[in-house]
Structure 1
Amino acid sequence: MKISTRKLISLRHPSLNLWHRTVDCFTWNTLIRAYVQRTHQPSSPTHTPLSIFLRMRFHGVHIDYYTFPFLLQSVHSPPHLQLGRSIHSQVLVFGFSSDPFVQTSLISMYTACGDVGSAREVFDEMSQRDLPAWNSIVNANVKAGLLSVARELFVKMPSRNVVSWSSMLDGYVRWGKCEEALELFNQMMKENEVMPNEYTMAILLAACEQLGSLEHGKWAHACVYKLGMEINVVLGTSLIEMYAKCGSIVRARLVFENLGSKKDVRAWSAMISGLAKHGRWEDCLCLFSNMVDSGVTPDDITFLGVLSACVHGGLVSQGKDMFERMSKEFGISPKIQHYGCMIDLYGKAGLIDEAWDLLNTMPMKPDGLIWGALLSGARICGDIETCEIALNKIIEQDPTNSAAYVLLSNVYAKMGRWKDAGDIRNVMETKKVHKVPGRSSIEINANIQ
């Protein structure tokens, strides 16, 4: 189609100034894809993938079966669901509803928007279901927590690739079914039709980490070597996290050191957090200094590990210094978890007034984490009044928290307020809040019991 020689799109983005007399579909599709795949999104973009699509239609450019898949990639969260449905209607209008590429993209879009029902409808309407379509619908049910449905679809798949297995494994780990994940991985290895990749092994290591099973973790590590995989930064970070969680900080440190120059901020942060969890606060702060000296810029997760180390070591001045460096030196805005660490640090040091001051100046509303940290410090200091306030706030935010009711009742009893203590117990009975019994597991001969 011939058009007059004029700028089709704003001068403010040079890549969109098209002077061509004919603008074909390939060019417009490329523009849509480029905008979808931008790594740095501007705060107030001049154009969006949808606005480019609308201009494409305004100029009468022919749409092909690549246009909608690229456009649908821009719809990736529940607030965008209505937009996704509108694009779906355009798919129907332009006659691409039977194209497998478009249908698979629709399944992925509905999955990202949390509408697994619509994703299943699209899948059921497909006359020819290819492997990407099967993978997409399995992933849709995995993300929705419908693991039995996902497994049923997984079993029915005419063929599977590493994406299929990894998606199902990820579902089990994500929803806390780690033993099932180990069983599925064993099945994958026994069938010997599809070989796991680095992503699969990272999921397996996450399962071992959640179980806290060192023997299974060492077995997974051996599988990595047996499969001939290089320990890249992704696998290395997963191994560090797994060994640290399973109690072998020495093995975690060995993996960290063997990464050499491949270490990125994730690997450094994982090692720092691992040392903090093991109470190795001196090593943690030393490693943080080495990280900065090596030219690696820390992120919010790094500082969470550093502040946790300060809590373990009771290092109030160092903690305050690190908390200030976050924003002043590295431009990182503290999140609620960082405030929680600082309040915990002040509380355990007996500085309840400082903890209250920080809590009252937080830019966000305190949650259960914050009140729990304040409660912990107040109990150590014997500040009964602060304990009462914190527990009431915890119950206000989580009315089913049985431990908070029991602790509050005990606080009232300690204060001699027996009527209030009895009232709390009565409230528990009225609301049918029951104390959850404790549960623990132990690893015996590589079996979790």
Structure 2
Amino acid sequence: MITFSNVSAPKKLFKSTHVSSLVHIFAPALDSTSCLTTILQLLALSIETQSLRLSLQSHARCHHLGVTQHQRIAQKLIFSYGYFEHPADARLVFDSLLVKNLHICNTLLSGYGKNQLFLESLEIFREMCRFYILPSADEFTFSVMLKSAGEFGDVFVGEMVHGRGLKDGLLLDTVVGNSLMYMYCRCGSFKDSMKMFDEMPHRNACSWNSVIAGYAKLGLEKQEKASDYFSLWDFAKGMQAEGLKYDAFTISTLLPLCGGDLKSDINDRFDYGRELHCYIVRNGLDSSSRFGDEVHLGCCLIDMYSKNSKIYEAKMVFDRLKYKNVFSWTAMINGYVLHKNYDEAFLHFREMQWGARIEPSKVSIVTILPACSSFTGLMGGKQIHGFSVRRGMNNESSLCNALIDMYSKCGSLHYSRLVFEHECIDKDAISWSSMIFGYGLHGQGQQATMLFDEMLQNGIKPDTTVVVGVLSACCRSGLFNEGIRIYESFVNNCDVEPTMEMCACMVDLLSSSGQFDRALNFIKTMPVEPGPSIWGALMSASALHGNSHMADLAYKSLVQIEPENSSNYIGLSNVYASLKRWDTVAKLRMMMKERGLRKSPGCSWININSKTHSFLVADKSHPRSDSIYTILDQLVSTMKLSHYIPDFVYLVEIIE
């Protein structure tokens, strides 16, 4: 008689035998007294090996043996069907039971939650609260329902569950309290979450993590008031004050907040990130026995260092990872792209495939595509596009959006349109805005406005990004009336507050058409405080039209906002150079020299025979620089023979 309790050979057989045939192999055992244990282990094996077929065969064997009413087997079957995203089959098993205990009801609720069937889980919960047919709800039931309410974003149902738990006296349970905080955070009620936290008699690490994650999700750390941001770190320190240690979840939640996104406190934020890194090393979290924790923390550290322009430190973290999966490789590639080191980004993209034998994911491809538009050109982008087609990922919305943007920036608007029309099946607002931006980039403002009107006709509500895209296209193409119409329609009809980017487009549109007084009145009356983009647009148009008065006004405002930005001085210097005001040009140059400001040199790329060559202004590092400068001298001589007189404005930029 063969049983699982005294046989070790079948476990070795799992490696060489298809799991779907195991039911037939163990058929003799299933007729023995250990049949229940055997079926339970087969169902557990089906989940471990991701085999729905084995679960179905085990269910069929249960019918054959007449054990479908057994509580543990029924619970395991319901769990399996929920895990394999077959909630209807799980409900059939549930309805077939003559007696339903609390564990079976909770298992079905959990399966509904995993499959996002919120209304069905709410129906079961109501039956459990009536005490008629189903057993009464316990702490686990309330935790599952609160989590489902949070995932569904229904704060009204969450409050009802909260009230019922208060009536039944279950809110003293720590797990239920944590689920309540999670629900309120997911629904955007952070104050209610904090109130629940303050009222909890017993708190564990999950309680603190719920509040920290909710704080991070709602973006309170990005508000302008520094006190709002630093209160998060004060709160996190309170966790240690209660004798609780940070775990991997705590640190992975805090690390993304340490990126260099806020100019006011970049150094402070980076210091917090380094402290968290030290905590990881000191407590051995970087060598955790759990594979997922080490990789996830490594990815968060790579991202944190990359956002703070510490690409060398990010590479050190990457190299020290014991295990590297697609997520860690993608994080490192993204770091190089953020750092504009596109050569290393492509080297790692190739090494991931050929050296580590790891296939890129959709996120990996979306990450590397911006480097194609800036570095490798159209050929590299086409190769990555072909890879996505072969892997069947080319219909994903996020990938299609990245492809549209890449083709537009590589100068192939035709391919952008093909991707938009034929491959982008589910078009979102980003898809439309990417295509509109592409038209604007190529000076086809009329096509951009037509596409914008088509988007409105399809019932898609435009966001500020789309409006900025179409306004920018109108600016590039000189479509003054169309730009005014779209702006006024969006602001007046949609009742939306204009953003800084929208106002900058309007200033550019008005001033480029020579209406400087109207542009200045718009700046004075617009609802947002004018920033560098506003005054920069005015100064560029002033240079174009030779309006030195407006250029002076824009310059003074720019220098006041950004006193260390050399581009402001260079722009105004070019304006005065075009007006032959050399004394003012000399004063500006002297001011830049005194402040130690230098213009970042321009850089260009060219791809020849699959090799990319980069050039800086006055650069002689290229191995063929002598030949290149010889050809340039010949071109200059030819231009002089043709009586071509270069514009002094551009000579000033070259000298810089």
TM over 0.5: yes
SS of 1:74 mapped into structure 2: helix
Structure 2: how far apart are the matches of 1:122 and 1:434? 39
Matches within 5 A, 1:272-287: 272-287=436-451
Residues 34 and 212 (structure 1 numbering): CA distance in 2 closer, same or farther, change over 3 Å?
farther
Residues 314 and 336 (structure 1 numbering): CA distance in 2 closer, same or farther, change over 3 Å?
same
Structure 1: how far apart are the matches of 2:158 and 2:360? 46
Residues 85 and 266 (structure 1 numbering): CA distance in 2 closer, same or farther, change over 3 Å?
same
Is the 2:397–2:425 contact (alpha carbons within 8 Å) kept by the matching residues of 1? no
Q: CA deviation at 1:142?
A: 2.7
Matches within 5 A, 1:319-398: 319-398=483-562
Of residues 68, 72, 83, the one that matches 2:208 is 68
Of residues 27, 32, 35, the one that matches 2:176 is 27
Q: Does 1:106 align with 2:251?
A: yes
* Greater share of helix: 2
Q: CA deviation at 1:418?
A: 5.4
User: Which deviations, in whole Å up to 9, do the C-alpha atoms of 1:90-129 show, x marking residues without a partner?
Assistant: 24634445xxxx2342243144143212211221122352
Q: CA deviation at 1:46?
A: 4.8
Is the 1:116–1:144 contact (alpha carbons within 8 Å) kept by the matching residues of 2? no
Is the 1:111–1:119 contact (alpha carbons within 8 Å) kept by the matching residues of 2? no
Of residues 239, 244, 247, the one that matches 1:90 is 239
User: Which deviations, in whole Å up to 9, do the C-alpha atoms of 1:163-202 show, x marking residues without a partner?
Assistant: 2112111111122222211111111001344322111111
Match in the other structure for 2:199: 55
Q: CA deviation at 1:64?
A: 4.5
Match in the other structure for 1:144: 308
Is the 2:397–2:424 contact (alpha carbons within 8 Å) kept by the matching residues of 1? no
User: Which deviations, in whole Å up to 9, do the C-alpha atoms of 1:13-64 show, x marking residues without a partner?
Assistant: 44432212233222111112122323xx36xx651x33222211xxx24x44
Q: Does 1:243 align with 2:387?
A: no
Is the 1:104–1:136 contact (alpha carbons within 8 Å) kept by the matching residues of 2? no
Matches within 5 A, 1:203-242: 203-211=367-375, 213-242=377-406
SS of 1:231 mapped into structure 2: coil
Structure 2: how far apart are the matches of 1:234 and 1:420? 50
Structure 2: how far apart are the matches of 1:66 and 1:11? 23
Of residues 460, 482, 486, the one that matches 1:296 is 460
Residues 64 and 195 (structure 1 numbering): CA distance in 2 closer, same or farther, change over 3 Å?
farther
Residues 191 and 416 (structure 1 numbering): CA distance in 2 closer, same or farther, change over 3 Å?
closer
Residues 414 and 226 (structure 1 numbering): CA distance in 2 closer, same or farther, change over 3 Å?
closer
Match in the other structure for 2:17: none
Q: CA deviation at 1:410?
A: 5.4
SS of 2:550 mapped into structure 1: helix
Match in the other structure for 2:278: 121
Counterpart amino acid of 1:124?
V
Structure 2: how far apart are the matches of 1:103 and 1:411? 55
Matches within 5 A, 1:128-277: 128-129=287-288, 130-131=293-294, 132-211=296-375, 213-259=377-423, 261-277=425-441
Contiguous gaps of at least 5 residues in structure 1? 1-9
User: Which deviations, in whole Å up to 9, do the C-alpha atoms of 1:198-222 show, x marking residues without a partner?
Assistant: 1111101122233362111111112
Is the 1:442–1:448 contact (alpha carbons within 8 Å) kept by the matching residues of 2? yes
Structure 2: how far apart are the matches of 1:261 and 1:215? 24
Larger Rg: 2
Provide the aligned C-alpha RMSD in A. 2.6
Q: CA deviation at 1:327?
A: 1.7
Of residues 19, 30, 37, the one that matches 2:186 is 37
SS of 2:214 mapped into structure 1: coil
Is the 1:272–1:288 contact (alpha carbons within 8 Å) kept by the matching residues of 2? yes
Structure 1: how far apart are the matches of 2:445 and 2:243? 62
Counterpart amino acid of 1:264?
D
Structure 2: how far apart are the matches of 1:139 and 1:434? 30
Q: CA deviation at 1:228?
A: 3.4
Residues 51 and 194 (structure 1 numbering): CA distance in 2 closer, same or farther, change over 3 Å?
farther
- TM-score, reference length from structure 2: 0.61
Is the 2:546–2:575 contact (alpha carbons within 8 Å) kept by the matching residues of 1? no
Counterpart amino acid of 1:103?
A
Is the 2:445–2:477 contact (alpha carbons within 8 Å) kept by the matching residues of 1? yes
Residues 15 and 94 (structure 1 numbering): CA distance in 2 closer, same or farther, change over 3 Å?
farther
Is the 1:327–1:333 contact (alpha carbons within 8 Å) kept by the matching residues of 2? yes
Of residues 607, 612, 622, the one that matches 1:448 is 612
Relative contact order, higher structure (CA 8 A, sep 6+)? 1
Q: CA deviation at 1:421?
A: 4.1
SS of 1:145 mapped into structure 2: coil
User: Which deviations, in whole Å up to 9, do the C-alpha atoms of 1:401-428 show, x marking residues without a partner?
Assistant: 4454345445556667654444333323
Residues 313 and 408 (structure 1 numbering): CA distance in 2 closer, same or farther, change over 3 Å?
closer
Structure 2: how far apart are the matches of 1:258 and 1:290? 16
Q: CA deviation at 1:281?
A: 1.3
SS of 1:158 mapped into structure 2: coil
Is the 1:212–1:245 contact (alpha carbons within 8 Å) kept by the matching residues of 2? no
Is the 1:111–1:143 contact (alpha carbons within 8 Å) kept by the matching residues of 2? no
Deviates more, 1:409-418 or 1:299-308: 409-418
Structure 1: how far apart are the matches of 2:595 and 2:158? 60
SS of 1:350 mapped into structure 2: coil
